[in-house]
Structure 1
Amino acid sequence: MIRLAQSEQAAWDAFFVSITSQLLAQDAQRGPEYIAERAAEIADEMLLERRERCVERRTAPIDWIGPAKGQ
Structure 2
Amino acid sequence: MIRLAQSEQAVWDAFFVSIAGQLLQSDAKRGAEYIAERAAEIADEMLLERRERCIERRVAPVDWLGPARSQ
TM-score, L = length of structure 1: 0.88
Q: Distance in 2 between matches of 1:17 and 1:2?
A: 17
Alignment pair present for 1:13 and 2:13: yes
CA offsets per residue over residues 12-71 of structure 1, 9 Å max, x none?
Answer: 0000000000000111100001100100000000000000000000000012233356x5
Alignment pair present for 1:61 and 2:61: yes
Q: Distance in 2 between matches of 1:46 and 1:11?
A: 10
Q: Which runs of 5+ in 1 are unaligned?
A: none
Q: Count residues with an aligned counterpart.
A: 71
- Match in the other structure for 2:41: 41
Q: Which amino acid counterpart does residue 13 of structure 1 have in structure 2?
A: D
RMSD: 1.7
Q: Which runs of 5+ in 2 are unaligned?
A: none
Q: Are the equivalent residues in 1 in contact too, given 2:2–2:44 (CA < 8 A)?
A: no
Q: Which amino acid counterpart does residue 20 of structure 1 have in structure 2?
A: A
Percent identity among equivalent residues?
Answer: 83
Q: Which amino acid counterpart does residue 14 of structure 2 have in structure 1?
A: A
TM-score, L = length of structure 2: 0.88
